[in-house]
């Protein structure tokens, strides 16, 4: 039975058999028992499917990954210890030293650092492009050694909306997969695979957990990208892997090749596994994701409209506002036109005023976090994006006065009253 998204949130993933716990158990075990030496050997050769060591796979994690995969309409998925690990693995699974990839410049600050600085040290180069540029303009960034195109459905914190169909066209014309970070809209509002994305990643730390309890990430593969059709570009997936007796992932696992390689090779060697206890907390969050996300968006819409009509406010950015340059795209790409609960704005008086305003908020807390049940606020230029130069700040879509306001699921009247008193 093909379930609707609300039902998937509540019921998918863990499927207990007779006499098993109704609620997803935490398999708090590093290891799993076998009866013969040969049974264990087959697991190590990827000949048999099964659990043997939690660094590679754990049943609690797999149940939660299966739920997120179903939410995104993907083929296979895996959890990672953080969103950063998911971003890194998603690229590193198909790029090695000497390779290149293209990314939207307006992305999460941590991802920008990873791509611009750390990946470069590994010999993998990234060219950043303006996601709103024309296809011809973006095409210029591609090289013969380009292996992927990356973007965020809704950029954190610039809030630009990615035209996923356009990005998918560009990626596929160049024979590379499109990887999309779908953290902000969540699959409740948008499923990038439906618009042509090949791989979707998340920081589950945000709306999916939703209660600010556990850092985590996940990767979902659509199974749609044909690695074999571009076999020379992706030798890691299509050629024999010497660390698995010459097994070739695309031949042995078909649509499951990408996630199998990321698990069997990257997770084995780099070990960024999500703790099963965190996966359990994430699953509790997912059970109410379909209730929370629309409420976040409803409240954010009210806050954005209030700010827009306040004379102390210089500008407001929210794709639910009719004069947003992303309004039409958001209406098309997002269910009900809902984007996310995050609104950005600046005050007349600039950076100084913005900081003073934040210090006067009472209900909304200053925290390095976004997208949880409690309203919170951050000044990216002073906090998350401190490491970036002024030029990089502009490329990332972060004006110096930008306040990132993450609207929670409290009563909208109380959130607006808090903003009002702080403005005064
Ligand atoms: C927070 C965030 C990340 C990083 O995730 P962590 O779980 O903090 O490692 C990546 N992408 C986006 C869009 C984010 O908001």
What is the SS3 assignment for 2?
A: coil
Single pTM value for the model: 0.97
Atom number of ligand 1 nearest to Cα 87: 10
Question: Which of 82, 205, 385 best tests ligand 1's pocket when mutated (most atoms within 8 Å of CB)?
Answer: 205
Question: Which of 68, 79, 82, 84 best tests ligand 1's pocket when mutated (most atoms within 8 Å of CB)?
Answer: 84
Nearest CA to ligand 1 atom 12: 108
pLDDT at 257: 98
Nearest CA to ligand 1 atom 6: 83
pLDDT at 47: 86
Nearest CA to ligand 1 atom 7: 83
Q: What are φ and ψ of residue 341, in 5° steps?
A: -95, 5
pLDDT at 385: 80
Q: Ligand 1 mean position to 84 CA, how many Å?
A: 6
Ligand 1 site residues (CB inside 6 A) read 82-84, 87, 108, 110-111, 152, 156, 181, 183, 203, 205-206, 215, 217
What is the distance between the alpha carbons of residues 44 and 221, in angstroms, rounded to a whole number? 23
Q: Ligand 1 mean position to 85 CA, how many Å?
A: 9
pLDDT at 328: 98
pLDDT at 38: 93
pLDDT at 113: 93
pLDDT at 243: 85
Question: Which of 110, 209, 371 best tests ligand 1's pocket when mutated (most atoms within 8 Å of CB)?
Answer: 110
pLDDT at 61: 98
pLDDT at 46: 82
Please list, residue by residue across 52-70, b when 16 or more beta carbons sit within 10 angstroms of its beta carbon and e when fewer do: bebbbbbbbbbbbbbbbbb
pLDDT at 413: 98
In the block, tokens 């230029």 appear at 381
Q: Ligand 1 mean position to 412 CA, how many Å?
A: 26
Nearest of 39, 45, 148 to residue 95 by alpha carbon: 148
Atom number of ligand 1 nearest to Cα 183: 13
Element (H, E) at 71: helix 59-72
Q: Ligand 1 mean position to 111 CA, how many Å?
A: 8
Nearest CA to ligand 1 atom 2: 203
Q: Ligand 1 mean position to 108 CA, how many Å?
A: 7
For every one of its 424 residues, what pLDDT tens digit does the chain have, with 9 covering 90 and above? 789 999 999 999 999 999 999 999 999 999 999 999 999 888 888 888 889 999 999 999 999 999 999 999 999 999 999 999 999 999 999 999 999 999 999 999 899 999 999 999 999 999 999 999 999 999 999 999 999 999 999 999 999 999 999 999 999 999 999 999 999 999 999 999 999 999 999 999 999 999 999 999 999 999 999 999 999 999 999 999 988 888 999 999 999 999 999 999 999 999 999 999 999 999 999 999 999 999 999 999 999 999 999 999 999 999 999 999 999 999 999 999 999 999 999 999 888 898 899 999 999 999 988 999 999 999 888 887 887 777 888 877 788 889 999 999 999 999 999 999 999 9
Structural tokens at position 373: 């049940």
């Amino acid at each position: 039975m093909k379930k609707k998204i609300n039902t998937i949130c509540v019921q998918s993933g863990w499927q207990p058999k007779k006499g098993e716990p109704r609620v997803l158990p935490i398999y708090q075990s590093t290891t799993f028992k076998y009866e013969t030496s040969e049974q264990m050997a087959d697991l190590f050769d990827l000949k048999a499917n099964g659990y043997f060591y939690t660094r590679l796979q754990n049943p609690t994690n797999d149940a939660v990954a299966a739920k997120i995969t179903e939410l995104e309409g993907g083929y296979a998925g895996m959890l990672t210890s953080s969103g950063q690990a998911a971003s890194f693995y998603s690229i590193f699974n198909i790029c090695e030293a000497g390779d290149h990839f293209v990314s939207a410049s307006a992305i999460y600050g941590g991802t920008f650092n990873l791509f611009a600085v750390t990946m470069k040290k590994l010999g993998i180069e990234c060219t950043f492009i303006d996601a709103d540029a024309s296809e011809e303009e973006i095409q210029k960034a591609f090289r013969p050694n380009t292996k992927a195109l990356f973007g965020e459905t809704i950029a954190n914190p610039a809030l630009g909306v990615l035209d996923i169909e356009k990005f998918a066209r560009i990626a596929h014309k160049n024979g590379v997969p499109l990887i999309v970070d779908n953290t902000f809209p969540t699959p409740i509002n948008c499923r990038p695979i439906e618009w042509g994305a090949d791989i979707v990643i998340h920081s589950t730390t945000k709306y999916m957990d939703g209660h600010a309890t556990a850092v985590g990430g996940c990767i979902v593969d659509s199974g749609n990208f044909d690695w074999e059709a571009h076999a020379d570009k992706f030798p890691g997936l299509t050629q024999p892997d010497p660390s698995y007796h010459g097994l070739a992932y695309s031949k042995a696992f078909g649509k499951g090749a990408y996630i199998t390689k990321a698990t069997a090779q990257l997770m084995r060697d780099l070990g960024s596994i999500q703790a099963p206890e965190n996966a359990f907390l994430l699953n509790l969050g997912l059970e109410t994701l379909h209730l929370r996300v629309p409420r976040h968006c409803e409240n954010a819409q009210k806050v954005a409209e209030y700010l827009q009509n306040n004379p102390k406010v210089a500008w407001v950015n929210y794709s639910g506002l009719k004069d947003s340059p992303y309004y039409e795209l958001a209406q098309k790409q997002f269910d009900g036109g809902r984007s996310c609960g995050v609104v950005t704005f600046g005050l007349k008086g600039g950076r100084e005023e913005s900081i003073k305003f934040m210090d006067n908020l009472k209900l909304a807390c200053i925290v390095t976090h976004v997208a949880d049940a409690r309203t919170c606020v951050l000044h990216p230029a002073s906090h998350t994006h401190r490491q970036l130069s002024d030029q990089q700040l502009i490329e990332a879509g972060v004006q110096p006065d930008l306040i990132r306001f993450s609207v929670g699921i409290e009563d909208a009247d109380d959130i607006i009253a808090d903003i009002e008193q702080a403005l005064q």
